[in-house]
Structure 1
Amino acid sequence: NNLKNFPKTFTRLQNLREISIQENQFVALPPELGTISTLVTLNFDHAILRNPPPEIVDRGLEVILHFLRKLYDSRQTGEVDLKGLDMENLVAGEVWTTQIITSNVTKLNFKNNRLNQWPVFMCERISTNIKSLSLAGNKLRGLPIVFGNLAGLTKLNLSSNHLKALPASFSDLSKLSKLKLSNNEFNLLPPPVNELPALRTLIAFGNEFTSLPAQIANLSKLTFLDLSTNQLQTLPPEIGALTALSDLRLSHNDLERLPPEVGGLEALTCLHITHNRLVSLPA
């Protein structure tokens, strides 16, 4: 045969146990296949298939159906949840990623894969409707210089990677209200972070900060700041400008003193300062 598209009507046959579609021209399997729980055999031509990607196809029918079911569910939930699928290389996935990330999708979850880079096309071609993105638990060492194109983001999780810096365009994420940078390799708070006007939650524990920049005062809407388990030796007096701050976590650092300006944080309801080198507190 010379079929190019899998007939979606076949996916309504919920008692199917075996499908053979070899010697056709299919480049994609429909997400609806993931809803057929009775399927035990699926024969197709691996060479030309682009969706699912090879690293999913090579792991057998169970993983293929799990992947397709995730794509199917995204149409109802608006979330593409592909966490924990060990998809190491998205660079080769331009075809399938741009097909599945449609205008109704607002959340992307690529947590706990083995991604070593976030492709440029994922910043340039996916919908600006994306509000939430998780890239936690991967092997990222950097982000594309055009990462700021994801201007619709309000929540971003970059925890548990190998990041040491962020691109300048990161400051274009003007709607970002929650940012997780924990367990990376930053030795200073990346400058673009100080230019995020909507930021309310910043979680950056488990890095290598020794100090904070005075520009942190720009984050006037910040209500939650977690800098635990760094190497902080001092805090700038400008931290007193964070008048909306209600929760400040500084445990497991090397602080010997707190600036008097901390006493002016009148919205503060939670202050964690255990496991430092403090010998006194501001009067």
Structure 2
Amino acid sequence: MYELQQFQLHHQNNQMTMNMDHMMMKKRTTKKLTEEERVHVVDLNGMSLDSLPPKLSIDLGIICTLDLSNNNLQNIPESLTARLLNLEKLDVHSNRLRSLPNSIGCLSKLKLLNVSANFIQSLPATIENCRALEELNVNFNKLSKLPDTIGFELIRLKKLAVNSNKLVFLPSSTSHLMALKVLDARLNCLRALPENLENLINLETLNVSQNFQYLESLPYSIGLLLSLVELDISYNNIKTLPNSIGCLKKLQKLSVEGNPLSSPPPEVVEQGLHVVKEYMCNKMNSSENITSKKGWWIGKLVKCGTFNGHMKSGKRLEHKGFSMLQYQPMNGLASPGFMGKLSPFRLFSPFSPRRSFG
């Protein structure tokens, strides 16, 4: 009986090894690619793998896409990652990873990294060497912080998704991600956003919703996000929106539900986005004294052509008002169930009824 069990176990191990070898040699070719341009894909998705061997028989240098998602992996061997020199896409979501190998910094051609739904508490500093990275997804982990200089190095990053973690702050270097188009930091513990956002000239979507009682304000420099189309700050503890929001000429959707807002007042919010923008602009225009604390960003608004103003008498900033666009009313409200589908926490929010418009 014992010999039979040992034979069966040996047979199962051999079968799994054969399956892995078969999958590791898998190649996919799209219709647009010639035989010489064939992209090498290794697909080990959903194979119930508990570990990976540190060395494999195939040439890792030919792999462009590696999918290890939906397994039970607890670590990725350093020696394995270091040999994936031509890797462009790495997907290890839905595993049991607690960290990433330091050798991930060797992946100089990596464009997409998906490590969502793991147990990662911090990213290795070497990830900053992945300077070709365009999309980084670390949703649903246990991150308490990001590498301090991440924004200085990942200059091609277009999408940063860090939702459902334990982030208290985003590093100030985040404001230097000039190529960034999407920043998703909802469902964290954010106390504040970086003050200097003016370098995020391509940012189109900013979602910092559901930081609940932690996030109480937004920086004035948010008015310098000149490409911003969608802003979601719902379910936070924000009482006052910065007047500079009136400068966001491309903004089409603003979600503010679940905040104890006093400015703009509820009767303004209920009238829609174009009314909120006009209210913010008028509020700034009616301000007779501009403090030195706010003068820095107003000067930048002038420089960017968002604000009609000019300097007089050296330090004092006089202004004529905003150069207002003819904002068109947006028909219909944002779907009231849209964000509700993302998190059950919304069902228990102590704040005011949902308000979303765009």
**How high is the TM-score relative to the length of structure 2?**
0.58
- AA in 1 matched with 2:115: L
* TM-superposition CA deviations, 1:66-105 (whole Å, max 9, x none): x566445425452211111111111x35234xx16452x3
Taking the aligned partners of 1:54 and 1:100, their CA distance within structure 2 comes to 22
**Is residue 155 of structure 1 aligned with residue 108 of structure 2?**
no
Name 2:44's counterpart in structure 1: 82
1:262 equivalent among 198, 209, 222: 222
Write out aligned runs for 1:8-157 (5 A). 54=13, 57=16, 67=20, 70-71=23-24, 73-74=26-27, 76=29, 78-90=40-52, 92=53, 94-96=55-57, 99=58, 101=60, 103=62, 105-126=63-84, 128-157=85-114
Distance 2:27 2:54 in 1: 18
Aligned residue number for residue 15 of structure 1: none
Structure 2 unaligned spans of 5+: 1-6, 30-38, 244-358
Superposed, 1:109-258 pairs within 5 Å as 109-126=67-84, 128-191=85-148, 193-194=150-151, 195-253=153-211, 254-258=214-218
**Shift of residue 192, structure 1, vs aligned partner:** 5.1
Matched letter for residue 137 of structure 1 = S
Q: Structure 1 segments of 4 or more deviating over 6 A? A: none
Using the alignment, how far apart are the partners of 2:230 and 2:132 within structure 1?
A: 26
Is 2:130–2:154's contact at 8 Å kept on the other side of the alignment? yes
Q: Please state whether the residue corresponding to 2:66 is helix, strand or coil.
A: strand
Offset of residue 239 of structure 1: 2.5
CA distance in 1, matches of 2:150, 2:14: 34
Aligned residues: 225
Aligned pair in 2 of structure 1 residues 113, 249: CA closer, same or farther (>3 Å)?
same
CA distance in 1, matches of 2:109, 2:76: 17
Structure 2 CA distance for aligned equivalents of residues 192 and 85 of structure 1: 36
Shift of 1:167: 1.9
From the superposition, tell whether residues 148 and 168 of structure 1 become closer, same or farther in structure 2 (CA, over 3 Å).
Answer: same
Max Rg structure: 2
Unaligned runs of 5+ in 1: 1-43, 59-63
- How far 1:171 moved relative to its partner? 0.9
**CA-based RMSD:** 2.5
Distance 1:123 1:222, change over 3 A: same
Kindly provide the CA deviation profile for residues 173-204 of structure 1, in whole angstroms up to 9, marking residues without a partner as x: 01001100111111112335322111111000
CA apart distance, 1:172: 0.7
- SS in structure 1 of the partner of residue 97 of structure 2: coil
Judged with a 3 Å threshold, the aligned counterparts in structure 2 of structure 1 residues 267 and 186 are, in CA distance, closer, same or farther, namely same
Amino acid at match of 1:148: G
Specify whether residues 270 and 223 from structure 1 end up closer, same or farther in structure 2 by C-alpha distance, changes over 3 A only. Answer: same
Distance 1:192 1:82 in 2: 33
Q: Cα–Cα, structure 1 residues 215 and 192, in superposed 2: closer, same or farther, change >3 Å?
A: closer
User: Do the aligned partners of 2:168 and 2:191 also contact (CA within 8 Å) in 1?
Assistant: yes
Tell me the amino acid that sits aligned with residue 134 of structure 1: D
The separation in 1 between residues aligned to 2:204 and 2:48, in whole angstroms, is 38
| Cα distance in 2, alignment partners of residues 229 and 189 from structure 1 | 15
